[in-house]
Amino acid sequence: MHVNPAEILYWSTMLASILSAAAGVLDARGKQFDLFGVMIIAFCAALGGGTLRDVILDRPVFWVKDSSYLVFTWLGAILTFYLARWIKLSSRWFVVPDAIALGLYTVAGTHAALVLGNDWLVASFMGVITGVAGGILRDILLNQEPLVFQGPLYATASWAGSVLFIILFHQKTDPVAATVAAGILIAMVRLLAVRWNLVLPRYREKQH
């Protein structure tokens, strides 16, 4: 049996959409949102970062070209919406899948910017946007301060992996190998940071 690496990546991203949507829905707990509201939260959490990337890079928006992303995102959202009534779902179950999704989204965003000929700073920023902007949009809709600014090395992990991918890309490394390497780096940094609660320096003005 022959397996196409591009197809593995494609279906991994779909799986990431389902999981990000589910995690986004769990974050809306406590708010009295209706089913539609939950679907919009899931859309932002799962597809918002990539949408922003495509709009800024003036590419066709990915889910407009391929609506399977909408199907899988909303499947994940509706399932979680009803499951959460019967089963006590824990946000902690999503830490590992979320770290993997962060890796996949970051690499996809970085790659999209690189093939358009952007320099490393723009490409790595687009990778981070693709990885984390969905969570920021979700928190804006939930009317709360973006958690991603406070969590353990979320954006930092994304950025480090993006830079690794850019280096490997310019050295003409096999794309699959580069994706796996950068993805693993991102997921590892994020999970180790969660495990040992590593955070970036916080902003605190000297008190007088």
Nearer to a second copy, 4 or 205 (CB): 205
* Binding of a second copy by 180 (CB under 8 A): no
Could you tell me if 107 and 182 are in contact, meaning their C-beta atoms sit under 8 angstroms apart? yes
Q: Is 148 exposed, middle or buried (0-12, 13-18, 19+ CB in 10 A)?
A: middle
Question: Please, what is the minimum distance in Å from the beta carbon of residue 69 to a second copy?
Answer: 10
DSSP symbol at 146: -
* Binding of a second copy by 168 (CB under 8 A): no
- The torsion defined by the Cα of 165, 70, 137 and 123, in degrees rounded to 10, comes to 20
Radius of gyration of the chain from its Cα atoms, rounded to whole angstroms = 17
Nearer to a second copy, 15 or 122 (CB): 122
Going residue by residue from 46 to 85, which x/- string records binding to a second copy, judged by CB under 8 A?
A: -----x---xxxx-xx-xx--x--xx---------x--xx
Angle of helix 68-86 versus helix 35-56 axis, rounded to 10: 150
Picking from 86, 101, 85, 129, the residue whose alpha carbon sits closest to that of residue 24 is 101
Q: Which of 104, 107, 142, 193 binds a second copy (CB under 8 A)?
A: 142
- Residues at the contact surface with a second copy, assessed by CB under 8 A: 25, 28-29, 31-38, 40, 51, 55-58, 60-61, 63-64, 67, 70-71, 81, 84-89, 118-119, 121-122, 125, 136, 140-146, 148-150, 154-156, 159, 199-206, 208
